[in-house]
Chain A
Amino acid sequence: MKLLDRLFKDAPLATRNEITPKLGFVLTVLLAIVWLIPFLWMGVATLRPASDGINLMAELMPSLKPTLDNVRDAWEIGDFPRYTLNTMIICTGILLVQFVTITLAGFAFARLDFAGKTLIFYLFLMQLMLVPVLLIVPNLSLVAQLGLYDTLTGVMMPFFASAFGTFLMRQAFEAIPTELEDAALIDGASLLQRIRHIYVPLSMPSFSAFAIISVTSHWNDFLWPLMVINSPDKRPLTVGLSVFTATAEGTQAWGTIAAGTLMVIAPLLITFLIFQKRFISSFVTSGIK
């Protein structure tokens, strides 16, 4: 097997002569294959002509007469470029504001002294225990009162502050030696300058780890955007996609669904493939596994 040989060549040099790491490596490859099968199926189903019928739908063997009909159908049913743009606006908008809020809040909890600090921090963390669904009605009335019903800002609003992000940044900032800050203080750096030049650059891995979590969770969020958005041209990808995947009475066009799903995950998947190494290293250094 040429492929296996090549894969083994990538295995860490030091472990090449031992048995256990090799087994582990084989296991990883097997897991990767299991993980790949749905993707393969999605690709195959996307290209399968409707004339093949539902019988062949579950098969992994590609059709002999591949067609782009499903892609065309999915493309016509949903305004995918618009949905993608909306999702991107939502994800980046949330992330940019979150960066500011979690940096400042994380810093306050890590380095500033104020009355009731621990209590407030725990109250903050308690937010993590709440199921988001619970807050739909109060959040929506607030968004409507602010005049943000049916706007992308309304979708982003509730996520501007993040308990998880604050926690993560607090941990990261606490790990930074205070001596560095003291040195900057002697040089006359203001509070914001110290955050900007010492804390932020040294916590980059935590920032990227948080960015990944934030973007993927908001990219996949369905219920909240569904609540806020009415206008078809403001739908994010998830809501747009479910127009033809959600069914109540039992029928589904698998080919179109596969094509639509592929379109929805493609941007995220491609980004991941490009920045793969960086993603993984940021998770390793920030301690999230």
Chain B
Amino acid sequence: MLFSRRLMLGLAMAGSLAGALTFPAMAEGPTEIDLFFPVPVDGKLARDMGTLIKEFNEGHPNIKATAVYTGSYDDTLIKTRAAIKAGKPPSAVIMSANFLLDMQIENELTNLDPLIAADGTTKEQFLGQFFPALQGNAVINRSVYGVPFHNSTPLLYINADKAKEAGLDPSKPPQTWAELTDWAKKLTKREGDKVTQWGIAIPCAYDYCGWMMETLTMSNGGRYYNEEFGGEVYYDTPSMLGALSWWNDLVYKHKVHAPGATPGPAVSTSFISGNAAMMMLSTGSLTYVRDNAKFAYKVAFIPRNVRNAVPIGGASLIVPAGLEADKQKAAWTLIKWMTSPEKSGWWSRATGYFAPNMAAYKTPDMVDFLNKNPDAKTAVEQLDVAKPWFATYKTVPVRKNLEDEVMLVLNGKKQPKEALAAAQKAADETLKPYNAETSLKLP
């Protein structure tokens, strides 16, 4: 043996000593951190994100942050998880707000409580900056795991010109499903069997479809999942059946909604081009509509069947588990900076998402902006009736269990009742391992 055990030990000790000695020297250089961000908006905003991070780096010479583009919300989750498992966790991620619970269950998140305490603030003070409706997706088991960054609620967009043309008053938008159905009927134009203008468009593509189902179910008095426990979803329930049946009726009974599952961009394009007179879409599309609509438009609350309620959407900033202390601290500095009233307001004006930090609405820039664009107020007002976004164990597969079935219904291949029963069965199967470890594990 060339190397004795003693020699190896000696080498190891010398190595760690050298490491300890060089450490202060290394700490003088900037701490390099990566921020993973999805692009929930078009390319212009990818540039805006670049601008934001550049500004941060200029103001914080001891931190060098790099913005890493990571695809859609779902891709971002895959990439973050793969990076954590590969031992290369990013320092911060703009993560779809409803993935936090699943990540916390898998021990992939840093509990932010100690970082908040180290700043000399309490959890309540820290969370108090944000709209109360957002806290459900940020707090798990009374600990803070995420900081709201850009958030949305679904909205009803109405082409006011077309409404007037059809003898409807756009200043009194439909408030109930009955009124909305009536509006949609009046706004649908036909030439023989061919529809030249649809009354309403509602998106259904992976990710969006689950969110829209939650929207409709909530305004039908129900809920999508158990907010207190990650192992239960309520797919096969009267409230969800009513919601899906109404959506199905819009397509196949009233024929005011185009058949098939339409992705979000196709919905906004069809609204802008006048092919659909109304649409249900995220606040995140507001800037796009404002910039492209060549007609008067109106933004309204999502109509109710039983009650006014909408889910939160959008993303929170998280810190993955397994980071070195200095990176964690630098990431925390970045997160606090990005969610400050000024930056949060700036991002809101650029995107159309609302600013989660309530103080953002008191900044002069924002007051000015809202005076010029009163349509941006609707989403904020709707926050009074907003509730958390569905979040379960394995959120993405559980969501897809429902979405696959809803798509079949919209494509005319299944009836709502059997679709929901199948979705419930599939979701129960997906949730089984978690329930076996939690609610069904008896002492």
Contacts and interface: CB of A to CB of B under 8 A. Distances in A.
Interface of A: 53-55, 57-58, 73-74, 76-77, 136-137, 140-141, 143-145, 149-150, 222-223, 226-227, 230-232, 235, 239, 242-254, 256
B274 A243 contact: no
Interface size class of B (residues with CB under 8 A): 35 or more
B362 interface: no
Contacts of A253: 42-44
The residue in A57, A231, A243, A246 that gathers the most chain B C-beta atoms within 10 A of its C-beta is A246
Nearest to A231: B66
17 contacts: A53-B294, A57-B269, A57-B273, A136-B82, A137-B85, A141-B86, A144-B87, A239-B69, A242-B71, A244-B42, A244-B43, A246-B72, A247-B42, A250-B288, A251-B42, A251-B287, A252-B268
Given A227-B83, A232-B66, 15 more contacts: A54-B273, A77-B43, A77-B44, A77-B47, A136-B78, A141-B87, A143-B86, A222-B71, A239-B71, A248-B72, A248-B208, A250-B285, A251-B265, A252-B42, A253-B42
Contacts of B285: 249-251
B45 to A, nearest CB: 9
A250 B85 contact: no
A144 B87 CA distance: 7
Contact of A223 (B46, B75, B208): B75
Contacts of A144: 86-88
A249 B281 contact: yes
Interface of B: 34, 38-44, 46-47, 66-73, 75, 78-79, 81-83, 85-88, 90, 152, 203, 207-208, 263-265, 267-269, 272-274, 281-282, 284-285, 287-289, 292, 294, 313
A140 B86 contact: yes
B264 A250 contact: yes
Contacts of A251: 41-42, 264-265, 268, 284-285, 287-289
A249 B264 contact: yes
Contacts of A53: 272, 292, 294
A235 B67 CA distance: 13
Contact of A256 (B43, B75, B265, B287): B43
Nearest to A230: B68
Contacts of A145: 86-87
Nearest to A56: B273
Contacts of A223: 75, 78
Nearest to B46: A243
Given A244-B39, A249-B285, A149 B208 contact: no
Contacts of A230: 34, 66, 68, 90
Contacts of B267: 250
B39 A250 contact: no
A247 B40 contact: yes
> Which 9 pairs from chain A and chain B are nearest by CB?
A244-B43, A250-B264, A251-B288, A249-B284, A144-B86, A248-B40, A249-B282, A252-B265, A140-B86
